Structure 1
Amino acid sequence: MHGKTILYTGAAGGLGLQTTLRFLERGATVVAVDHDDAKMAALTSAAAPITNGRLVLLHSDMSDLDGFRAGLKQKLEETGGFDVVINNAAIYPSKPFEGYTVEEHQLVQRVNVDAGIVAVQEALPGMKARGFGRIVNVASVTVYGGWALLSPYVASKGALVGLTRAWAREFGVYGITVNAISPGAFPTDAEKIHPDPDGYTKFVLDHQAVKRRGHVGDIANAIAFLASEDTGFITGQTLNVDGGWVMH
């Protein structure tokens, strides 16, 4: 990844931090987008010993699309362009469907999908000019089986799968590939919404073919693979990283 610049949203927490470090170790410049100051500080500390790559921070509330776009333009000028875009940032409120307002649905869509659209819009001209680009959208296993109480989140992740296919069809002529990964259940902060952690772990292991919990390194490996130069003939695909929970 030497010489490549990666735009990574939601880079400082959950599934993002380990992948950010992986890219830095491989010599990339990573523009890490997040809004959580504590997580950004932790990322900066974790990245400090890595001298191969360069970490560039972008503090941004991605529900503010205009502000996010302005921040991206600044980083584009600073770095010279984005070779890879990883749309990972997401919010995941949990409650019965009838409890959501339309505005709450729209907020989830804005952060989980629309911010990714903005990121790709800003990166695309440079990718086209260079004849190279990698876009990786982080979807979710919930798209396949549905998930009670998470309807806005599930809808947003389904939208990312659809965009993956549409963008792949449109951008392939420019040497740009677009793929998605669909993580299964990983023990991150996202699982704190579950009232019975032990029961949830049993549920997960009962459904997976691989009888262990996922590690964030599993996600880092998948994203790094799809972002590499070695995957120029893979596009429009959604790769499940879920221990064999969903097979298709």
Structure 2
Amino acid sequence: MNMQLTQTMEKVSMMSIAGKVILYTGAAGGLGTETTLSFLRAGARVVAVDNNPEKTAGLLEAAARENLSGLTVKAIDLSDLAALRQELEAVAKDVGGFDVVINNAAIYPSKPFEDYTIEEMQAVQRVNVDAGIVCVQVALPHMRANNWGRIVNIASVTFYGGWANLSPYVQSKGALVGLTRGWAREFGAYGITVNAISPGAFPTDAEKIHPDPEGYARFVLDHQAVKRRGGPADIANALTFLISDAAGFITGQTLNVDGGWVMH
């Protein structure tokens, strides 16, 4: 075997996620379904947490069409933190623990700041942030015992400004970026990396809140350096890299996957 082929095989091995158990919230959403399928194709096992029956049915059907194994779907209300913890602890025992946590699920109400009640603000925080904290707390003992783990929080381009009427959502995404840095510092000694991905404006259900879809699409492309809309593969590729051994020296970072909307 020549040296070039050996180096190529080593690079492929570093990017492998085969055999990893991934806890993925919001896994049947607009970007979640395709990324979940990508993980399954790569040989990972995915515990998909999503309580939308229509979307989870679509995810199960898509996996069945490709004869993909390793998928477990759990319909859990993320706002019920006690039930979430209990369910995840039971699943963790069944699968032998979680190697990877991807905190992706989110709710995104839209209205002027002064119209939100404090209870509505807290509800967004509970689903978008607190549920992710529970996921990490459940997964952490297994990761520490193995001296290996990957945590990825899904932030948002909205955190950089430019969108009105989304204050609770933006607040929650800022909290996830803060947790990314705090967890990265605290967990690094145990071989656990923690990063965030900040997706740009991808065409998902979230865009349905905009009254002028075509105008919004033009707005997005005007702000991006890359003049095409992002797709699920763009997120899947970034996630696969960050949860692989290839990214083992990257932690505490926020990766903007947005076609060059935000640059810093």
Deviation at 1:107, TM superposition (A): 0.3
Q: How does 1:93-132 map to 2 (within 5 A)?
A: 93-132=109-148
Greater Rg over alpha carbons, structure: 2
Q: Secondary structure at the match of 2:227?
A: coil
1:19/1:217 contact within 8 Å kept: yes
Could you say which residue in structure 2 is the equivalent of 1:184? 200
1:175 aligns with 2:191: yes
Residue 163 of structure 2: aligned partner: 147
Which residue of structure 2 lines up, in the alignment, with residue 24 of structure 1? 40
Q: Tell me what 1:159 maps to.
A: 175
**Partner Cα distance (2:121, 2:232) in 1:** 28
Corresponding residue for residue 205 of structure 1: 221
Q: Which residue in 2 is equivalent to 1:77?
A: 93
Cα RMSD, aligned residues only: 0.9
Verify the 8 A CA contact 1:8 1:86 in the aligned structure 2.
yes
Deviations 1:150-196 (A, max 9, x none): 00000000000000000000000000000000000011000000011
- Residue of 26, 43, 51 corresponding to 1:35: 51
Task: Return the letter of the residue paired with 2:39.
Answer: F
SS of 2:37's equivalent in the other structure is helix
For the 8 Å contact 1:62–1:68, the answer to whether it is kept is yes
Amino acid at match of 1:3: G
For residue 125 of structure 1, report the CA deviation from its aligned partner.
0.4
- 1:49 Cα offset (Å): 3.7
Task: Tell whether 2:238 aligns with 1:222.
Answer: yes
> Identical aligned pairs, as a percentage?
72
Give the 3-state SS of the residue equivalent to 1:32 in structure 2. Answer: strand
| 1:112–1:156 CA contact under 8 A, matched in 2 | yes
Q: Runs of 4+ in structure 1 displaced over 3 angstroms?
A: 49-53
TM-score where L is the length of structure 1: 0.98
Calculate the TM-score normalised by the size of structure 2. 0.92
Aligned-partner Cα distance in 2 for 1:144–1:176: 27
Shift of 1:71: 1.1
Q: Is the 8 A contact 1:146 1:154 kept in 2?
A: no
Aligned to 2:152: 136
Query: SS of the counterpart of 2:141?
Result: helix
Could you tell me whether the CA contact under 8 Å between 2:20 and 2:45 is conserved in 1? yes
Residue range with higher mean Cα deviation, 67-76 or 107-116: 67-76
Paired residues in the alignment total 248
Contact 1:86 1:138 in 2 (8 A): yes
3-state SS in 2 of match to 1:48: helix
SS of 1:205's equivalent in the other structure is helix
Runs of 5+ in structure 2 lacking a partner? Answer: 1-16
Question: Contact 2:63–2:69 at 8 Å: present in 1 too?
Answer: no
